[in-house]
Amino acid sequence: MSEKAIAAKQEVVNEIKEKIENAESVTLVGFDRMDVLEITDLRNKFRDANAEYKVYKNTMMRFAFEELGFGEITDELKGANALVFSNGDLVDGPKIAVDYRKEDDANKDKLTIKAGVVEGAFQNADQMIAIASLPAKEVLYSMLANVIQSPIRTLAGDLNNTVAKIALALDAVRTKAEEAGASDISAVAGNAVASEEKTAVEETIETEAPAAEDAPETEETQTEEVEEKTEETAEDAE
């Protein structure tokens, strides 16, 4: 093989590698039973979805995938194959392929989804079909934003309620200060605390102090009672 031919093939391999690296996703499809008109129609559908459908020789694709470290995909390089490069959203290419297969039962045999590469990782046929059912990236971002904003809105509501309660409490203290003619709100709060402590002490004294009528007899009282009894005895004896 001449150097010119080798250089031409290497140029094709480099082109495939560049497209794989720049695409959001790459889908390997087989089209053994499709005619020219059907392929043209399918290519237009991919183009409308910002995806590129391009046919390469299996040998060129094998070199490109192997050089990029995707050796797993080379086992699927049998028959007539094409690569679909999704240049917008990663689901665009796989989705068009899956939708085309659903249009007619015959299309399932005409177009085969074999494997792919998504965000630098190899995907088998089932995984590529599953990816085709995902919402577009913008929709996913919107869903994620709603999930994140929901607890934030709840937190904001709780904070607003807390701030409102604090404001009401401070307003009550301010009102007491104005009624007392005090200029320092902290003084009012301190007086209120002191008043509460004083009341508590007074209640404690009243509870613990014994009543006067229940007080025990003293020694002086007992002596007076003995003297009274002695005098009564003397009078009786006379």
pLDDT digits (tens, 9 = 90+) for 141-174: 565 666 666 566 666 666 656 655 665 666 666 6
Neighbour count for residue 122 (Cβ, 10 Å): 15
User: Which one, of 84, 87, 119, 121, lies nearest residue 99 by Cα?
Assistant: 84
Handedness of CA 64, 65, 71, 74 (dihedral sign): negative
Q: What is the pLDDT of residue 1?
A: 74
Q: What does the block give as tokens for 82? A: 């094409």
DSSP secondary structure letter of residue 37: H
Q: What is the pLDDT of residue 135?
A: 80
Q: What is the mean pLDDT of residues 124-140?
A: 83
pLDDT digits (tens, 9 = 90+) for 165-215: 665 666 666 676 666 665 454 555 555 444 544 554 455 445 544 444 444
pTM: 0.59
Q: Percent of the chain scored above 70 by pLDDT?
A: 57
Cβ distance 123 to 117 under 8 Å?
A: yes
pLDDT digits (tens, 9 = 90+) for 68-114: 999 999 999 999 999 999 998 999 999 999 999 999 889 999 999 99
Q: What is the pLDDT of residue 3?
A: 87
Q: How far is CA 153 from CA 141, 157, 167, 238, in A?
A: 18, 6, 21, 105
Task: Supply the mean pLDDT for the chain.
Answer: 77
The Cα 140–Cα 1 span in angstroms is 50
Sequence length of the chain is: 238
